[in-house]
Structure 1
Amino acid sequence: MKKKVTMQDIADRLNISKNSVSQALRGKDGVSEETRELVMRVAKEMGYQYPDSRKQTSQKRTGNIGLIASDRAFSFKNFFGEIYLSIEKEVLKRGMHLHIQSIHQEQKNRLILPAFIENKTVDGVLILSHISTDYINKVISTGIPTVLVDHHHPNIHADAVLTNNRFGAYVAVQHLIELNHRDIAFVGDIDYSPSYEERYEGYLLALRDYGMEPNPAFLFTDAEEKEETILGYIRQLKQQPTAWFCVNDGLGFLVNSGLRQQGILVPEQASICSYDNGQLSKISTPKTTTVDIDLELYGKRAVEQLFWRMEHPHEPFQEMLLSSKLIKRESTAPAPKQIVNKSS
């Protein structure tokens, strides 16, 4: 029996990507006219049968896209709010409507889907951050194309657009190490989301690469974002770290406040580096060194991936990693001598 010719066969023949072949055959932008003609000619020579796109998308489009997130995620307006605005702009540019709904605790626990998902009145769904694996999988089980934004999990089979948390954290901790800090604290609840756990992994990797061991007394891996919690951590230490790496700007802000309450000067006696480049890192005194994420690009790539998935429902799932960059501000300086707590 004659083997069916696939796009990958054409790509292998021409030594180009499968995506380029797909773009050429579908008449999409992204390839030159010369490449398009070459792909069409070779496809014909090889006997490729390109499926009728009208059959693939025979289900009538609704013209709607759904966006859901937990109440908690939507409460982080400086972070997810900017991503949402970018998503909205990109969806509108494509002539579609965006339907938004927050998922509260009862909906999550009882796996109650928004009506626009349950009734399939949207063509695709974007899920911001973490809700629960069971809930996300119920959304996916409807068959509506779904893309996760800032979240992934081994048991969730869907496209995801992510920031490279490990590398971002690595660069931040490397910056502290190059300022001669050897006692570097970690602050963040690594069980809250894969992003925070990956930032912890980046922290550990940087220490390892520089031949350093983390001090267990400086690892606050279940840190709640509350003033009394962070102040309690600082007060309990007999010997203070000379630097703090925090998984988000909110925790960085609270560490700064807690250190000042204990009479520890930033950055003269302790440096702080956080993550996200949100508003709190900019209004802190001193302003906080942080890892910047291009939130507008986050939203744009999420919409692009969703629309690609709507046209390619049977292609393998993809995870897209966006790079980040370190923004150096006044909260980091060369390491001082270790500090003993005044209250100890």
Structure 2
Amino acid sequence: MAKKITMQDIADRLQISKNSVSQALSGKPGVSEETRRIVETAARELGYEYTSVRNQLQKSEQNKTFALIASEFAFSLKSFFGEIYLSIERELSKQGIHLLIQPISEHAISERQLPSFVQNKSVDGILILSHLSTDYINEILSTNIPTILIDHHHPHINADAILTNNRFGAYTAVEHLLKLGHRKIGFVGNTSYSPSYYERLEGYRLALHHHEIKIDPTFILSDVLEEDEDLRISMSKLPKQPTAWFCVNDGFGFLVCSYLYHAGIKIPDQISVCNFDNGQLSQISNPKITTMDIDLKLYGIKAVEQLIWRINNKDAVYQEILLPTTLIKRASTGPVLTRD
């Protein structure tokens, strides 16, 4: 009769304590993810019978239905939000969770018309991609369906949120310009459009403050529309140009580069340009634009993880999870070659 494999057998093989084996197989804290994988592998090889926490979680989530809600405008931005949506879809597919997708019109937002599956509470969880109105989001939250915000938050909204670390990302971008010798750095963006954009302005200010650079308020264009004509008017009114622009997103970065090109200003010889998001526009611009990259796939992974966690921990305090950004240096930034 074959000997029954025990936790002690696994511990002896790996030369670790039985307690560590128990923690690894039960999913309890106290061991690293690498140790957990090694223990699970050894358990399978020795024929130890157990049900992993990961399998238990996936089994418990089967037959659930989640909804992904966003404005019609957000769904149209396929190069950015489309990547997040695809990541969410992949993660839910792995776990056997059904996904409903619902674009929300401006009329529905203004009238607070909720989708029928929200009104009927026929979904187990909701993912809200980007910002709708605060009143509309709170109308959804009033149903008590577990809900996660993606790339949006607000002081009047009590919900978990998956966010970009906008302040530190902008700080890194501006610090990159400072290291190149720039001291006259401008900011372009519409901070009233999104809390994320305001946070990027805060990161811009923080970097200049930390490096003891006096901010010139004439270089801060924080209420410009993301439109060619509005940007052209705002920039043409400036008494002088900075040596570098930090732009709140790819769209503004592309428009700034276009304006400078038509004004006969060389990039980066005369003015450097840096932006945020690493979308398609920063990659097709001539020159290609230095940018802060966001891991959009990670957005989807973390949003799904947090929603599953929230369903199982409904009374826990709300959390905001900040995802890091990465500086990608391209041809649009260079050292200061011309000075006033």
User: What is the TM-score normalised by the length of structure 1?
Assistant: 0.81
* C-alpha separation in 2, matches of 1:155 and 1:233: 32
Match in the other structure for 1:266 = 267
Say if 1:206 and 1:92 are closer, same or farther in 2 by CA, change over 3 A.
same
| Residue equivalent to 2:82 | 81
Number of residues paired by the alignment? Answer: 298
Amino acid of the structure 1 residue aligned with 2:28: A
Q: Which amino acid aligns with 1:88?
A: E
Instruction: Find the counterpart in structure 1 of residue 17 from structure 2.
Output: none
- Cα deviations by residue, 1:286-313 (Å, 9 ceiling, x for unpaired): 0000000000011111011101111111
1:24 aligned onto 2:33: no
Corresponding residue for residue 98 of structure 2: 97
Q: Which residue of 1 aligns with 2:145?
A: 144
Distance in 2, matches of 1:238 and 1:154, equals 37
Cα distance change on mapping 1:330 and 1:296 into 2, 3 Å: same
1:234 and 1:259 in contact (8 A); partners too: no
The answer as to whether partners of 2:63 and 2:96 remain within 8 angstroms in 1 is: no
Farther-moved stretch of structure 1 (104-113 vs 70-79): 70-79
* Paired residue type of 1:86: S
Q: The residue matched to 1:240 in structure 2 has which SS? A: coil
Q: Report the secondary structure of 1:101's partner residue.
A: strand
SS at match of 1:191: coil
Aligned to 2:332: 331
Q: Which residue of 1 aligns with 2:11?
A: none
CA contact (8 A) 1:23 1:30 kept: no
For 1:151 and 1:23, the matched residues in 2 are separated by 31
Q: 1:336 Cα deviation (Å)?
A: 3.0
In structure 2, the residue matched to 1:72 is 73
Per the TM alignment, residue 24 of structure 1 is displaced from its structure 2 partner at its CA by 3.3
Give the Å deviation of 1:23: 4.5
User: Any gaps of 5 or more consecutive residues in structure 1?
Assistant: 1-19, 36-52, 340-344
Which residue identity does 1:135 align to in structure 2? Y
* Offset, 1:182: 1.2
Amino acid corresponding to residue 244 of structure 1 in structure 2: W
1:121 corresponds in structure 2 to 122
Where structure 2 has 5 or more consecutive residues not aligned to the other structure, the ranges are 1-23, 40-55
Contact 1:61–1:123 under 8 Å retained in 2: no
Q: 1:184·1:241 contact (CA, 8 Å) conserved in 2?
A: yes
Partner SS state of residue 125, structure 1: strand
The separation in 2 between residues aligned to 1:30 and 1:265, in whole angstroms, is 50
Q: CA deviation at 1:315?
A: 1.4
Contact 2:62 2:96 in 1 (8 A): no
Equivalent AA in structure 1 for residue 279 of structure 2: G
Residue 30 of structure 1 and its aligned partner are, at CA, apart by 9.4
Which secondary structure does the structure 1 equivalent of 2:79 belong to?
Answer: helix
- 1:32 Cα offset (Å): 4.8
For the 8 Å contact 1:239–1:338, the answer to whether it is kept is no
| Inter-partner Cα distance in structure 2 for 1:233 and 1:275 | 20
2:308 aligns with 307
Counterpart position of 2:214: 213
Provide the C-alpha distance between the structure 2 equivalents of 1:296 and 1:159, rounded to a whole number of angstroms. 18
CA distance in 2, matches of 1:30, 1:118: 43
Residues 108-134 of structure 1 show CA distances to partners (whole Å, capped at 9, x for unaligned) of: 111111111111111100001110111
Q: Does the CA-based 8 Å contact 2:63-2:98 persist in structure 1?
A: no
| TM-score normalised by structure 2 residue count | 0.82
* Secondary structure, counterpart of 2:245 in structure 1: strand
Shift of 1:186: 0.4
CA RMSD, Structure 1 to Structure 2 (Å)? 2.6
- Which amino acid in 2 is paired with 1:119? N
Identity rate, percent: 55
Residue 171 (str. 1) matches residue 172 (str. 2): yes
Describe the SS at the equivalent of 2:331. Answer: coil
Structure 1 stretches of 4+ moved >2 Å: 22-25, 29-33, 60-63, 336-339
Asked whether the 8 Å contact 1:188–1:222 carries over to 2, the reply is yes
Give the CA deviation at 1:104: 1.3
Superposed displacement of residue 231, structure 1: 1.5
Task: Quote the Cα distance in structure 1 between the aligned partners of 2:151 and 2:215.
Answer: 27
| Contact 1:242/1:335 (<8 A) preserved | yes
- 8 Å contact kept, 2:62–2:97: no
Other structure's SS at 2:144 match: coil
Distance in 2 of aligned mates of 1:336 and 1:102: 48
Amino acid at match of 1:300: I
Q: Distance between the aligned counterparts of 2:109 and 2:195, measured in 1?
A: 18
What amino acid sits opposite 2:244 in the alignment?
Answer: A
3-state SS in 2 of match to 1:214: coil
Match of 1:278 in 2: 279
